[in-house]
Amino acid sequence: MSRVIFRALGLVFFTALVVGALLPLATRAANQSIHVLRVEGTIVPVVADYIERGIEKAEDENALACIIELDTPGGLLDSTERIVQEIMNADVPVIVYVTPKGAWAASAGTFITLSAHIAAMTPGTTIGAAHPVSGSGEEIPEDQMQKIVEFSAKWMESIAQERGRNVEEAQLAVTESKSFTDVDALEANLIDLRANSLDELIALIDGRQVKLANGLEVTLDTSSYTTTRNEMSLVEGFLHAISDPNIAYILLSIGSIGIIAEIYSPGMFFPGITGAISLLLAFYSLGVLDARWGGILLILLAFGLFIGEVLTATFGIFAAGGITALVLGSLILFPEAGSLFQVSPWLIAVVAILVAAVFAFVITRIVRAHRRQAYTGWEELVGKTALVKAALEPEGMVLIKGERWTAISEKGKMKVGEEVIITRVDGLKLYVTKKTKGANK
């Protein structure tokens, strides 16, 4: 009797194991959804987050496959490593498809493409040129660069071996920056197929066998399928858009100018708020892109000198120093060798010319005001009307004839925007009272 019971239990256990092993296959066969991701632009952390999220969603929903449409000039090594690891360890078939015509998968894109279970290219696309460059901009010593190249070549070798691709040709993309057209890549066994469209790609992968990271071998059946596009979220799209050297530079310029405008004309709020937000976004972007701290500090010094010019009126000395620091900081902000992360020289020139023009106008007004003051003397200000720019409690700031003066209220507090009458001048301070109706301006 006991033997019968043990045999029955053994049969139940064996049946459970078989069902458990076949269940994922049955589930995958039942779900004919193919998830499609789209990556266009540089490979930065937000792109790695997006791909990780997309693959994990495809896994959770037992999708038939996950296709990554790729068009990239390259990107950051850390982000590339994250993406490659996610693809290599995926429990869903991952197909990287370089598309549309004219697209390329250079540098980081080469590693990503070759790491896929199935790699495909649209006719007229290019892959390769995966030689490493410095991300932070410093000139790397020759011996250290050699070590980085050797490491990258070994990494490429391990990827190619795991996916059964041509190791020698894959390594040449790293060591000699070799590039391949779609035809060359197929002949060199770097990719698996060429397809003119997404529908053609899906038709071509029908019946292909893929071995997943968990050891499960899957035969793709695309005879009946649906596609689900998982686009970047609004936040991801926005962060990816500002992860661009030119955008970061523009944000840094807008932020600094906004802060200067708020200091020059306190109480306006809008320039200050806009400037603060722009600066925060600029620092995020510059941090993501590994910008040189030397360049950032020089640009901040430049705008500090501009603020000094506004507050102290040095007749152009601070402004000239600021423009010099701005141009130098802009030029060294990103490495010269890496055109992928570099501020456009035209953008630098436009910003420098605009700043110079603004301060030429300001300095001209200051010089004219000082000439008038030297001719007439400060006593002419007595009895004139000034505008409160910083609340007088009792000390604050007023504006008169385009100049800011420290002012002291002789009676009561005065709000921003109120008009006041100057009663006397003591050095560089004005004493004022509230303007009454009928008083002369």
Catalytic residues: 107, 147
H-state helical runs in 243-344:
245-264, 270-288, 293-312, 317-331
* Contact status, residue 94 vs residue 68, Cβ threshold 8 Å: yes
The Cα–Cα gap between 303 and 329 comes to 11
Give the CA-trace dihedral at 357, 359, 360, 362, to 10 degrees. 130
SS3 label, residue 387 = strand
Of 49, 164, 155, 178, nearest to 118 by C-alpha is 164
Residue corresponding to tokens 């020059």: 264
Burial class, 342, CB count within 10 angstroms (exposed 0-12 / middle 13-18 / buried 19+):
middle
Q: Taking the CA of residue 19 as centre, how many other CA atoms within 13 Å lie in the half-sphere pointing to its CB?
A: 6
Helices 293-312 & 345-376 angle (0-180, nearest 10):
20
Q: Which token pair is 263?
A: 């200091």
* Alpha carbons 26 and 24: distance in angstroms, whole number: 5
Which tokens hold the place of 117? 């279970």
Whether a cis peptide bond, with omega within 30° of 0, leads into 100 is: yes
User: Which H or E element spans position 35?
Assistant: strand 33-40
- What does the block give as tokens for 67? 């296709």
Residue 429 · residue 392 · CB < 8 Å: no
Which amino acid would we find at residue 238? Answer: F
How would you class 375 by CB atoms within 10 Å of its CB: exposed for 0-12, middle for 13-18, buried for 19 or more?
Answer: exposed
Tokens of 141: 């010593």
Question: How far is residue 162 from each of residues 39, 91, 93, 214, measured CA to CA in Å?
Answer: 24, 15, 14, 14
